[in-house]
């Protein structure tokens, strides 16, 4: 990047010197019109040069090394053993891994650490309690819509959103036509 800036700086200096040498001959022949153009060009050149310097300074200040993102570890035999033997969920496994990395011990040692065994026990008790309290409020079955309401919804523009919905719509229309033919 610095090489590019040096190249730009030298080319800007060459352009400036060329402009000055050509401007002397031009200004004597064409008058004040070229001096205004020359002044504007010099002004623009100064702004561009200042901008390039500022960008270079910002690069030096903000220069950061590109860090490689840690690659996810491949599951090792030890990891699979720990997950299966302890029956860990993904969240519990992540906590175990994080604890092992902080303590700089193996995951197997971390799984036997008193803190982790206590933590895992607490988490499982909380899950069991949450599951037990949610059992009482189980969802009741959704009432089946009548054939008439399905057809009316379709006629209002509400389209079925699944293959089963379209199937149900077709069955409802057939059932309504059968009812109408029996009456008439």
pLDDT of 102 reads: 93
CA quadruple 142, 146, 150, 155: dihedral sign: negative
pLDDT digits (tens, 9 = 90+) for 17-29: 545 555 454 445 5
Q: How confident is the model at residue 20, as a pLDDT? A: 53
CA distances from 130 to 55, 93, 135 (A): 57, 20, 9
Q: Which two three-digit tokens encode residue 30? A: 């064409």
Residues of the chain with pLDDT under 70: 1-33, 63-76, 135-143, 184
Residue-wise pLDDT for 69-91, tens only, equals 554 555 567 777 777 777 888 88
DSSP E strands in 9-119: the ranges are: none
Whole-number Å distance between alpha carbons of 47 and 51: 6
Give the residue among 143, 178, 170, 174 at the shortest CA–CA distance from 154. Answer: 170
pLDDT at 114: 92
Boundaries of every domain in the chain: 2-61, 77-133, 147-183
């Amino acid at each position: 990047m610095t090489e590019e800036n040096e190249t730009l700086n030298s080319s800007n200096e060459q352009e400036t010197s060329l402009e000055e040498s050509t401007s002397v001959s031009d200004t004597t022949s064409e008058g004040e019109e070229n001096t205004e153009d020359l002044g504007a060009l010099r002004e623009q050149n100064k702004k561009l040069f200042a901008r390039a310097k500022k960008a270079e300074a910002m690069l030096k200040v903000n220069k950061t090394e590109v860090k490689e993102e840690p690659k996810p570890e491949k599951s090792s035999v030890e990891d699979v053993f720990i997950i299966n033997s302890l029956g860990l969920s993904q969240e519990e496994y992540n906590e175990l891994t994080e604890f092992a990395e902080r303590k700089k011990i193996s995951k197997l040692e971390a799984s036997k650490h008193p803190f982790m065994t206590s933590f895992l026990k607490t988490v499982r008790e909380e899950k069991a309690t949450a599951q037990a309290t949610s059992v009482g409020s189980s969802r009741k079955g959704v009432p089946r819509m009548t054939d008439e309401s399905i057809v009316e919804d379709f006629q209002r523009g509400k389209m079925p959103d699944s293959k089963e919905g379209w199937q149900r719509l077709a069955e409802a229309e057939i059932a309504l036509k059968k009812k109408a033919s029996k009456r008439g």
